[in-house]
Amino acid sequence: MNNSVDREPRVKVLDLHLGNTASVVNMLRKCGASVEVATQPKMLAGADKLVLSGVGAFDAGVRALREDGWVGPLTERVAAGRTQVLGICLGMQLMCQSSEEGRLSGLGWIEAEVKRLELPVSSNLKIPHMGWNTVEIAKANPLLRAEEGEQRFYFVHSYHAVCGHAEDVLATAHHGSTFTAAFSHGSIYGVQFHPEKSHRFGMALMKRFVELPC
């Protein structure tokens, strides 16, 4: 589908009552996207792109997905490759198989586990990792472009995704040790930082996600 010729992509942001939905919607609208908040699984119909965002504990996120009936419809769309999905912070972690933070299984869309950040004994850094940090692009990708030079994003997290396949890693960041800041697999993309709080860098990333050919 050629979005510029046929129509604007239909972007839906899932409302799992896990926080930051309004901020994500506002940033997408600043990017010029036509956005709808999906409050129940039946509202996924017709979506070209989905955004799965959230803050908080892993198990709370998994429960929200399960109890409100999101898991089946979401996984069906992802497995069919019909919908591009962007996971933000907790949303990225929920795409993984499991987390050291909880006991429940994640969505399992990508071969990755979520582990707690580790700091050297002598480090003056703190967990959670909170504030602005630069990212290093690991491979060419449509969301983060190396030719734009240094790119800084806002992070708030204590856990990070560890990918089973290096080719899934799009970008890394460093906080005591190097961790995955962005990944992708098929039609799914995940970022550990908050693009909706990252000003021009975050807006550029979200605009590129919206403009990805469907």
Structure tokens of 19?
């926080």
Catalytic one of 129, 157, 160, 194: 194
HSE at residue 203, side-chain half, CA atoms within 13 A, is 8
Catalytic one of 31, 89, 96, 163: 89
Catalytic one of 100, 175, 196, 211: 196
Is 31 known to be catalytic?
A: no
DSSP 22: H
Is 185 known to be catalytic?
A: no
Q: d(Cα 179, Cα 190) in Å, to the nearest integer?
A: 13
Q: d(Cα 38, Cα 88) in Å, to the nearest integer?
A: 16
Question: Residue 210: which of 19, 34, 88 has the closest Cα?
Answer: 34
Is 89 known to be catalytic?
A: yes
Q: d(Cα 69, Cα 73) in Å, to the nearest integer?
A: 8
3-state secondary structure 63-112: HHHHHCCCHHHHHHHHHHCCCEEEEECHHHHHCCCEECCCCCCCCCCCCE
Q: Are 204 and 210 in contact (CB under 8 A)?
A: no
> What amino acid positions are annotated as catalytic residues?
89, 194, 196
